[in-house]
Amino acid sequence: MKIKWYGHAAFMITTDRGIRIIIDPYQPGAFDGALSYGKIADEADIVLTSHDHDDHNYIADIEGVFDHISIAGSHQVQGVRIKAVSSFHDPSRGKERGDNLLFVIEADGLRIAHMGDLGHTLEKSAIAELGPIDVLILPVGGLYTIDSQEATKVMRDIQPAITIPMHYKTDKCAFPIAGVEEFTNGKGLVRDAMASEIVVTKKTLPGQPEILLLKPAL
């Protein structure tokens, strides 16, 4: 399986069978130019959007004929199992920013969780609903999502083999959120992939949990 980070919360997962899954595509230039990552114009077979904000739901540029999943529940699409778990975009049960979906993708013997704009730590029931996770894609920037301390708790509660931070301040994201360093500081196993894309298999999962940093592709 390949995991590619476009930037912000947008990823493409490509299975060994070549099924292309794009998650939370952003609108380039959204929020008066605060989000300046490049245009996502790849083809997809499946598109997942966690909620209806311009930095997570812009499917207009995506090429190809694809299945779009944006509701909670269990889905089986093109041989891929996808579970969408309900959560909230804020700590007030959605009263501030609405709902959010947590996606669990099962393919190639792996379970990948993308947490969208999660705005709160998780209760035990939600962790149980997600199930065991191999790769956790986790917002860490705060303000609009969980912050570094809350993200650390979510990571430790879920206990994935690999955690990939997302939704943090970069030179192409001018949101008033924290950089990734606030999340990685003081943590031992942090590895910079020096690339926007990695290949993950069940056999190559690390023996000890690690935080893996990707570079934005766009």
Under the banding of pLDDT at 50, 70 and 90, the label for residue 191 is very high
- Residue 141, in any domain of the structure: yes
Of the chain, the percentage scoring pLDDT greater than 90 comes to: 89
pLDDT beyond 90 at 180: yes
- Residue 218, in any domain of the structure: no
- Residue 195, in any domain of the structure: yes
Instruction: Calculate mean pLDDT across residues 137-151.
Output: 96
Query: Structural domain tally of the chain?
Result: 1
Check residue 98 and give its pLDDT.
72
Least confident of 63-67, 95-99, 155-159: 95-99
Least confident of 60-74, 87-101, 195-209: 87-101
Under the banding of pLDDT at 50, 70 and 90, the label for residue 218 is very high
36 CB burial (10 A radius; 0-12, 13-18, 19+) = middle
pLDDT beyond 90 at 165: yes
Q: How far is CA 29 from CA 38, 39, 61, 99, in A?
A: 8, 9, 13, 23
> Can you give the CATH number for the domain in which 11 is found?
3.60.15.10
Instruction: Calculate mean pLDDT across residues 61-84.
Output: 95
- Residue 10, in any domain of the structure: yes
Instruction: Calculate mean pLDDT across residues 174-184.
Output: 96
Under the banding of pLDDT at 50, 70 and 90, the label for residue 45 is very high
Q: What pTM was estimated for this model as a whole?
A: 0.95
Under the banding of pLDDT at 50, 70 and 90, the label for residue 53 is confident
Average model confidence (pLDDT) for the chain?
A: 95
Task: Please give the residue range of the domain that contains residue 144.
Answer: 2-213
pLDDT beyond 80 at 90: no
Residues 6+ apart with CB under 8 A from 22: 10, 11, 12, 40, 42, 44, 46, 47, 48, 62, 66
Instruction: Calculate mean pLDDT across residues 122-151.
Output: 96
Instruction: Calculate mean pLDDT across residues 43-49.
Output: 98
Asked if residues 28 and 41 have their Cβ atoms less than 8 Å apart, the reply is no
Instruction: Calculate mean pLDDT across residues 127-148.
Output: 97
Check residue 30 and give its pLDDT.
87
